[in-house]
Amino acid sequence: MIEPPAALQDNIVFALAFLVLVLFAASLRSYLRRAAAAEGLGANGLAGAVLIATGSLIGSGVEYGLAKEIHHLGPESVKTLNFITEELPFLPGCYQIATGMRMSRRV
């Protein structure tokens, strides 16, 4: 098990990494926007990155709160929060990216 101070630092760095992902996707979208055929792909990539980052930031916030207040929670609450942080972040974003990849085949 990770010690609470290390978990707090890890979650802050994790959140910053996903903010950088959104900045990268935004710059990639502006690059792809130059070609009219790839504009939809760039928009879907940015939307997917935003969805992934949103889910990951929610999960990171849950883990941060869990590490900060671990002594106030029971075992059932810890299991529920652990499940949320493992399953939530990537599902909507992966769907959006897959949709963008399908669109790129039609171009």
Task: Report d(CA 79, CA 106) in Å as an integer.
Answer: 43
What residue numbers bound the domain in which 88 lies?
4-106
Q: What number is the average pLDDT over the span 52-64?
A: 79
91 versus 82: the higher-pLDDT residue is 82
DSSP 70: G
Tell whether the model's pLDDT for residue 2 goes beyond 60: no
pTM: 0.63
Task: Report d(CA 107, CA 89) in Å as an integer.
Answer: 29
98 versus 21: the higher-pLDDT residue is 21
Name residues whose C-beta falls within 8 Å of residue 87's C-beta, 6 or more positions apart in sequence: none
Q: Which of 9, 16, 3 is nearest to 64 (CA)?
A: 9
Task: Report d(CA 17, CA 104) in Å as an integer.
Answer: 27
Split into its structural domains, the chain has a count of: 1
Tell whether the model's pLDDT for residue 49 goes beyond 50: yes
